Structure 1
Amino acid sequence: GRGTFVKPNGAKQPDALPDVYRLDSAAPDAGAGEIVSLATPGVIELSHNEPSLPDYDALLRRSLQQVAAKRGLQHLLGYSRTLGDPAHRAAAAQWIGRTGLAVAPEQLIVTAGAQQALAITINAMAMPNETVMVESLTYGGVHENARLRPVRMEAVAMDEEGLRPDALAAAAKRTGSRVVLVQPTIHNPTTATMSLQRREDIVAVARRHDLTIIEDDVYGFLVRERALPLAALAPERTVYIASASKCMAPGLRVGWLAAPPALIERFADSLHALSVNNPRLNQEIVRLWIEDGTAAYLVERLREEAATRNAMAGEAFAGLTMRSNPASLHCYLELPEPWRPNDFTAQALGQGVRIASCTSFVPDNRPNPPPWVRISLAPAPGRELLAEGLARLRGLIDRGPETRRRAVV
């Protein structure tokens, strides 16, 4: 009288992951439909840092079966506490601790990715039309959030290590801004990474001018040996943002915001206004991955793949100026004269390769943007397509814009 039950694929349930380097083999899909790619047909997509590994299929299947085997699943479908479930916040604190930042679960809010965490922070920390200081190159999500609030962005000069302390001090004095957004580890797009001394210098400026630091550390988990986060050096004034997108899987849309205790309720109100709360099923999968070692396994795999792909880019662009990091999911390439970034990006798309011009990262719409482009090396697409895309880009650089225009005509 209990109805009919269907067994999952395979004769037995997957075993728990005993260590971070073993994966159970996946049972084949029975009649499963093909997953449709969002990429433009015929175009090699090198404009998004979207990590993707072949292990995802087996890992997600195992995790979903583990969740399904539990009792009381209905709690995953109801409203959660605005700050996030205690178990999810505890797992996040454990994961963030890998960076050297000790943070209590009570200081954490679980968000729908780093983009939402950034929106929450800007909404809570800056009044409309107030000035927020940002790096002279900063990724597009910052621009979008600034327009939504809206806030003014004040571009602060950078060097090979990232944000310059002297330029930050001058901008704070000139504008009266009290908030600075900085990406100190594998900066997007330049891949610049601050030394410990540079981080200490930035903190000293923030204390001298009473600034709140928003630290974007989405790529920090991929660096094996790294300096302490700014939040570890100045916990009293730093809002720390991280996510599972670049170190686990982007489609999970799980991020974390850690802040001084006095600010948590303000951020909770901001999150509630934006989305009431966030889906808990994805958060449960991330919790499982953190606790059973899957997350650490994925980070190791992504590190290895990133190192291989950075080496491929270095070979493809030999003789040119390229900035990269062995753990980076992208490289930053300087175009030789007479190339201009938008012209090169447009002509690269004509060659079937989509990349990002540096103009996508310029917050102040300067008339003469630097002649650089960002090229994604993320694990999707595969290595063969990446090699083909890099070869097409190098060929276009070597031929030059005038040759390319005549060929189009």
Structure 2
Amino acid sequence: MTTWLPDLDSYPGPRYRAIADALAADIAAGRLAVGERLPTHRDLAYHLKVTVGTITRAYAEAERRGLIGGEVGRGTYVKAGTVRSAGDEWPQLPPPPGDTPAVVDLSLCTPSAAGVAEALAALLSGMKDPAGFADMLNYPPHGGLPAHREAGSRWLTRHRISAGPETVLVTSGAQNGMAIAFTTITRPGDLILTERLTYFGMKALTATLGLRLDGLSMDDDGLLPDAFEAACRQSAPKALYTVPTLHNPTTAIMPTERRRRIIEIARKYDVTIVEDDVFGFLVPDGPPPIQVLAPDITLHISSLSKSIAPGLRIGYLVAPPRLMPRLEATMRALNYAVPPLMGELATRWIEDGSADRFAETQCRECRARHALAAEILRDGPAVAVPSVGQHLWLKLPDPWRREDFVAETRSRGIILTGADVFMVGRGAAPHAVRVGLSMPARREDVRHGLEVIADLLCSPAGATVSMV
């Protein structure tokens, strides 16, 4: 057995990958001969001061590249054949000057932009008739041009929302829709209920509007009905804000019967439900939206930001007919109307089928990236909640604390969002992080980020930073 001991200083990135890269270099340089037996997992781990799990992953990566092979009882050997680098399958991120790996930002849920820019250029190049721009240069109706509301209605219907054009308000994205909804149905000082972990844009909005926000207990299926009813009985809330499908950040999908129970409680205590459904298109066979089950008490918010592109800034707010005049008045006060040109782009994509193709691209990409996460995190100690959404909810194992994990991954060039960002109220946030799988443009970058995370979880040297 060889006493092979690699120098890892020249190989940035996760330790297991550095070991595999060093092994490839030594084979290529002739420092390791074909058939030579490598150190045992335990011996190499001891000499390199890493965990046995890191060596196991390093040898598995080297075997995947065709560098080595092993047999039970005989150990691990250098294989014959052409050496393949990791870059043959997954291009590596180029490291910046020094030993710090390249930055991979996994902090947001930004959809894939594959093909969208090209489609936009083609669409704009075909809009050459000046007469077609006449309606886009005048003051539009506050709720949007009739054709744009009609297109929004058709788009929502494809995603199982019951909405005629007269109940659809075109908004500048979901955040604008939320602002219009809560400005209309609440007054400063009113109490709004939500899940104890909620979208941080909602926290910012309620603070701006002078609303009180209270978080309710939840489990793996989302908001707990008993907690909702107890809060209604004690505090007389004005509205409930919920993300029942692919909850942000936990990815929970609320079952149908629980949705019905939430509706029953809301009716009993006269609470308006504001349903944020921006991720709903990713679960076409999921439970029915709350708006379908209770259209008379629900304001439904969706957007094309997650299905097409966030820069489009087009969303749709569906509301009971009785609220539409007040919502349009709020729109007039806040931003008058959505720029008609952006509404026209969205409308044409909905009409020609491009929007459906973009949405399906997002679905396929999410499935591929979650499969990648399942592969890389499969044998680790953390619990990755299964999902098909644009983010991953990662429950950290002991002794990791979320703030230490976020700091440690950041020091290695990987940016995550800790659970405390989403916490409502004074309770302790869970030790978990949100991983924005959809944000990097390339899957290779996602793989790099996940491998750094997996390596760190298996070697928790920084887990005790906050323990004194």
- Alignment TM-score, normalising by the size of structure 2: 0.75
- The yes-or-no answer on 1:323 pairing with 2:385 is yes
Match of 1:340 in 2: 401
- The yes-or-no answer on 1:293 pairing with 2:353 is yes
Distance 2:152 2:386 in 1: 28
- The yes-or-no answer on 1:46 pairing with 2:106 is yes
- Taking a change above 3 Å as real, the CA distance of residues 101 and 54 of structure 1, as seen in their structure-2 partners, is closer
Match of 1:359 in 2: 420
CA shift, 1:403, in A, is: 7.1
CA shift, 1:100, in A, is: 1.9
Aligned length: 364
User: 1:304 is matched with which residue: 330, 353, 364?
Assistant: 364
User: 1:279 is matched with which residue: 339, 346, 351?
Assistant: 339
Q: How large is the RMSD of aligned CA atoms in angstroms?
A: 1.7
- Taking a change above 3 Å as real, the CA distance of residues 356 and 79 of structure 1, as seen in their structure-2 partners, is same
* Contact residue 418 and residue 433 of structure 2 kept, 8 A: yes
- The yes-or-no answer on 1:64 pairing with 2:124 is yes
Match of 2:286 in 1: 226
Matches within 5 A, 1:250-261: 250-261=310-321
* Contact residue 339 and residue 401 of structure 1 kept, 8 A: no
Q: Deviations over 1:332-391 (max 9, x none)?
A: 00111111112211111111011100111001143x320000001115331011100111
Match of 2:436 in 1: 376
- The yes-or-no answer on 1:125 pairing with 2:194 is no
CA shift, 1:89, in A, is: 0.3
Query: SS where residue 67 of structure 1 aligns?
Result: coil
Query: SS where residue 131 of structure 2 aligns?
Result: coil
CA shift, 1:126, in A, is: 1.3
What are the ranges of 5 or more consecutive residues in structure 2 without an aligned counterpart? 1-100
- Whichever of the two has the greater Rg, that structure is 2
User: 2:206 is matched with which residue: 146, 152, 159?
Assistant: 146
* Contact residue 274 and residue 301 of structure 2 kept, 8 A: yes
Match of 1:113 in 2: 173
Distance 1:394 1:68 in 2: 52
- The yes-or-no answer on 1:174 pairing with 2:234 is yes
Task: Output the amino acid matched with 1:263.
Answer: L
- Taking a change above 3 Å as real, the CA distance of residues 336 and 73 of structure 1, as seen in their structure-2 partners, is same
* Contact residue 396 and residue 404 of structure 1 kept, 8 A: no
Matches within 5 A, 1:258-273: 258-273=318-333
Task: Output the amino acid matched with 2:384.
Answer: M
Distance 1:353 1:381 in 2: 15
* Contact residue 45 and residue 381 of structure 1 kept, 8 A: no
* Contact residue 303 and residue 314 of structure 2 kept, 8 A: yes
Query: SS where residue 127 of structure 2 aligns?
Result: helix
Q: Deviations over 1:183-238 (max 9, x none)?
A: 11100000000121111111111112121000000000121312211011111100
Query: SS where residue 296 of structure 2 aligns?
Result: coil
* Contact residue 184 and residue 216 of structure 1 kept, 8 A: yes
Distance 1:403 1:257 in 2: 44
Mean Cα displacement is larger for which, 180-189 or 58-67? Answer: 58-67
What are the ranges of 5 or more consecutive residues in structure 1 without an aligned counterpart? 1-40
Distance 1:197 1:67 in 2: 48
CA shift, 1:401, in A, is: 4.2
Report % sequence identity.
35
* Contact residue 357 and residue 373 of structure 1 kept, 8 A: yes
Task: Output the amino acid matched with 2:415.
Answer: R
Distance 1:312 1:106 in 2: 43
Matches within 5 A, 1:228-247: 228-247=288-307
CA shift, 1:78, in A, is: 2.6
User: 1:78 is matched with which residue: 138, 148, 152?
Assistant: 138
